[in-house]
Structure 1
């Protein structure tokens, strides 16, 4: 007999006079493909923020869409808890960082997500959204309210985007056929009684949309009777129609329960892929050029080294690489490719680029002009900026990890040391980069074992740009020999303009700051360095500083006035 498949039904209802200004968002996704449904399950979630939030709609919608997109993009080898926790931490970091740039609002929102997989429901909850379960005649709340009473008002004491560290409740519940889950918002408090919920849902349990509408109308009427606004009621019902067969969801799945591929050679076949070329072998990873036997599509396969197949910590990061690259979605960052058939081994696939490294390009184009080199620098800057928008550090920005095709398009590759910011910030990023291996473009703080941040990537980017413009390093001293903070003070920046007279002064000054040995003295935002790359290139022999550029029109008219004055004086003398 074939394994039983999980089957869910759902219904929704929303009460809001102005849908464009609502503060509650909800959604549900049930994969159609059986394999994905078995691996990831179905997910229902709801988000809610305060009425005083100027961007309440954006905050709720972004939270819902972001969670669903990122959760279903996580590797199938990850457990539900590990996948959802990773996604929530990444989403929390983004919301928290972006709220600093919003006036009158924030991306802070309560969230409740229930993932139905196999024979279990996994609840992830923070804030004051509410989740109930109806089993037979028993109606109980399974979420816990995180609220604080201030002046008669109840505010969430815990929520997504509220703090750099996310404290989220997680519980796993066994499912029974016929279980009904209700996700709603705090606004329903004080309207319906538990008996009301049960009777309204049971009135016609075959139509969950109708049941949700009954709940919404009843709650709105009860609110009107009691004299308060009923403009933000949100109801979502999910029923378990059939349970799936038991699945293995042990913690070991976090690191992948697929075998690591053996050493492969050209001509070998694995999972419907034919190995065309061994691109590289290192202590930690194998990279192969492969072709899909069915579609004939050429791709790059990246797999762990067979010698490390039992080192779970490495495999955890290996699986994270695929997810990180997949969620960035930038034309300047290499793309993850989906296999045409389920994988029986541990690896991931990347697009194959008909391109060469920046190192090779520079060697083959020694006469390339300044604008060509700056165009490459701008594209590389966009790649790094795209990573930082998704709270990702690359940590290995190096000419050999920058690919350029025959049209001059730049793509950043190799995410062996990438790090995703979470609740602990970037505390584990430095050790990871040192473990993978530092380069001459790595920021000084890596060599010193000091704290790293996105400004460390800024240094790596600026170092590659400096090398691209001058063919040299910004410091005569070797960064590998750094031992103390005192050593940093001895580093002396070598002007890029002195080594290449075509480099504008303003760009040289921007590079100097981005390459400051002290991490905290670099640009606060990467965009400030990218702005210097975009400036119109004036006469390289006399580039304008910002203050000179502002004074240029005034200087022109002052010169005209001086000439006119001189002519006037001459006319008097000649009379």
Structure 2
């Protein structure tokens, strides 16, 4: 099967200057990182008036590539590269020289591109450039951050100039045979598009063409350092298949298992559940005697590519999250022939069963559980993941009271979504009563979507009911946030403090912009009254605070007026 293949070629010259302050680098790993992180190319042009411009350029291109590959594979390219660039900017900006006006002496332009799957991600600050040569035409993909002052171009944006760095971010679709050309201003300021295209189409390796481009600019009067890096897209992977989807074609569906049966070295001790989507068994590994959970997909979904891709991705997600509040999933044997995964076996009960056993829990009991679920969800958030199926059935509570989040089959991995390598979801995923409104209406999900679902669970734990009228999504999809009509907590539990209703009402705002922005804010207000919200409620008119009391008072007032008129 075809993979991403890139070819690199570049050349750099100090030109008429005494020192070359340009730098470039490119890399495409040969291992699994080629698929999870892609290839990288970068060019930097150190500012010549700075005493450490050359150091800045070299540091940025080399560290950008090295550090990018150290970021978690679950992060989106934008998040990973952005974190690296902001870190480099802080470092460069902090290299002050008080003998030279006290400003940073490590300032450089930066133009970088990450080639992942069939997408290209460009990060740019300064006046170096990235240009695409496609179908015989040139297209400049970056904008020069300069202003014209006194007949010269003055940089308005670059790494190291200010403590905060604004980076231009562009996403492009890759095509086979594309050429991406990185140049410093010593090159592109002296070449016309006509000459540029001619030199790119001439015979020779990429390095030979880059060399000719640099030499041509030098011959045409370039008075600066000159650098040209060319990247050619030699081949691309299939855009609609990620690593785990590909396994669907080679792994067989396992049969229904019974106690005593074996599957690839795992002997079944107990059937935990047989559901419509999957089955879970308590098994023992006969090689080491350890007990695990073995989860298999249901035969009913043998032809459902979206479900099976999610099932296999669940294994990948579980292996990239290491936390005590998240169920562990272990890697299958390389020789495995069947589709299943091995997970931590959790002795305990689901939150749903806990709710049955505790129909009217106190607030402290609920907080103790919800705080641990929040811890698990924050782990996913840091990994650029959204669970999308937070419900009582997907929360386990051990006999020791430890909470574990389970079931990652619907998890949105943004690092996969950004390259369109996930199967198209034709229907919404997740339990219908807990789905966030923005997912139903706009088909978008974020950590605030998980927060909404968690608040639904919290409300249900406390009251035994849901805060909104249930929709039958098979028959009707709401089109407006106004269709979610919140029911106050005291409708079901008059013993709960009024400030708790304010907390849940905010966490359950149908419009995500009106919800809490962070889990910590929700947990804080779940632990103690939010005085700001209480003051805001106190300032609201009686009609808004308590419509029933308002109309009662209105009726009494009208009655008194009528009585007075009759007496008069």
**Cα distance, 1:519 vs structure 2:** 4.4
C-alpha separation in 2, matches of 1:423 and 1:343: 30
Q: Is the 8 A contact 2:111 2:130 kept in 1?
A: no
Counterpart of 2:531 (choices 536, 539, 545) is: 545
Q: Is the 8 A contact 2:68 2:80 kept in 1?
A: no
Counterpart of 1:169 (choices 165, 168, 174) is: 174
C-alpha separation in 1, matches of 2:89 and 2:36: 38
Match of 2:450 in 1: 457
**Cα distance, 1:525 vs structure 2:** 4.2
Relative to 1, partners in 2 of residues 1:390 and 1:507: Cα closer, same or farther, differing over 3 Å? farther
Counterpart of 2:514 (choices 501, 517, 521) is: 521
Relative to 1, partners in 2 of residues 1:282 and 1:368: Cα closer, same or farther, differing over 3 Å? closer
**Cα distance, 1:323 vs structure 2:** 2.8
Match of 1:561 in 2: none
Counterpart of 2:282 (choices 282, 286, 289) is: 289
C-alpha separation in 1, matches of 2:488 and 2:87: 33
**Cα distance, 1:401 vs structure 2:** 0.8
What pairs up with 1:192-341 in 2 under 5 angstroms? 253=246, 255-341=248-334
Match of 1:361 in 2: 354
Q: Give the paired residue count.
A: 448
**Cα distance, 1:476 vs structure 2:** 6.6
C-alpha separation in 1, matches of 2:499 and 2:387: 27
C-alpha separation in 1, matches of 2:230 and 2:287: 42
> More deviation in 424-433 or 318-327?
424-433
Match of 1:438 in 2: 432
**Cα distance, 1:256 vs structure 2:** 3.9
Q: Is the 8 A contact 1:47 1:111 kept in 2?
A: yes
C-alpha separation in 1, matches of 2:81 and 2:490: 39
C-alpha separation in 1, matches of 2:248 and 2:518: 35
C-alpha separation in 2, matches of 1:265 and 1:364: 29
C-alpha separation in 2, matches of 1:497 and 1:63: 57
Q: Is the 8 A contact 1:444 1:479 kept in 2?
A: no
Match of 2:489 in 1: 494
**Cα distance, 1:437 vs structure 2:** 4.4
Q: Is the 8 A contact 2:292 2:343 kept in 1?
A: yes
Q: Is the 8 A contact 1:419 1:429 kept in 2?
A: no
Q: Is the 8 A contact 1:510 1:532 kept in 2?
A: yes
RMSD: 6.2
SS in structure 2 at match of 1:432:
coil
**Cα distance, 1:513 vs structure 2:** 1.1
**Cα distance, 1:464 vs structure 2:** 1.1
Counterpart of 2:465 (choices 461, 473, 484) is: 473
Q: Is the 8 A contact 2:350 2:394 kept in 1?
A: yes
What pairs up with 1:8-87 in 2 under 5 angstroms? 45-47=40-42
Relative to 1, partners in 2 of residues 1:102 and 1:315: Cα closer, same or farther, differing over 3 Å? same
Q: Which residues of structure 1 form unaligned runs of 5+? A: 1-9, 16-21, 74-86, 115-121, 132-142, 174-182, 203-214, 238-246, 538-542, 551-575
**Cα distance, 1:329 vs structure 2:** 4.1
C-alpha separation in 2, matches of 1:184 and 1:333: 45
Match of 1:205 in 2: none
C-alpha separation in 2, matches of 1:407 and 1:487: 42
Q: Which residues of structure 2 form unaligned runs of 5+? A: 1-7, 14-21, 48-55, 94-109, 123-128, 133-137, 158-165, 189-198, 232-236, 537-568
C-alpha separation in 2, matches of 1:547 and 1:335: 39
Q: Deviations over 1:436-473 (max 9, x none)?
A: 6423x334566x655443333221111112223x2323
2:84 is the alignment partner of 1:92: no
Match of 1:343 in 2: 336
State the TM-score, normalizing by the size of structure 2: 0.58
**Cα distance, 1:352 vs structure 2:** 2.2
Relative to 1, partners in 2 of residues 1:313 and 1:531: Cα closer, same or farther, differing over 3 Å? same
C-alpha separation in 1, matches of 2:228 and 2:457: 51
**Cα distance, 1:67 vs structure 2:** 5.2
**Cα distance, 1:289 vs structure 2:** 2.8
SS in structure 2 at match of 1:289:
strand
Q: Is the 8 A contact 2:23 2:44 kept in 1?
A: yes
C-alpha separation in 1, matches of 2:253 and 2:84: 39
Q: Is the 8 A contact 2:284 2:292 kept in 1?
A: yes
Q: Is the 8 A contact 1:25 1:48 kept in 2?
A: yes
Q: Is the 8 A contact 2:119 2:174 kept in 1?
A: yes
C-alpha separation in 2, matches of 1:250 and 1:465: 37
Q: Is the 8 A contact 2:118 2:239 kept in 1?
A: no
Match of 2:102 in 1: none
Q: Is the 8 A contact 2:119 2:171 kept in 1?
A: no
Q: Is the 8 A contact 2:459 2:467 kept in 1?
A: no
Match of 1:509 in 2: 502
SS in structure 1 at match of 2:380:
helix
2:403 is the alignment partner of 1:410: yes
Match of 2:191 in 1: none
C-alpha separation in 2, matches of 1:94 and 1:69: 6
C-alpha separation in 1, matches of 2:328 and 2:80: 21
C-alpha separation in 2, matches of 1:358 and 1:59: 50
Relative to 1, partners in 2 of residues 1:47 and 1:279: Cα closer, same or farther, differing over 3 Å? farther
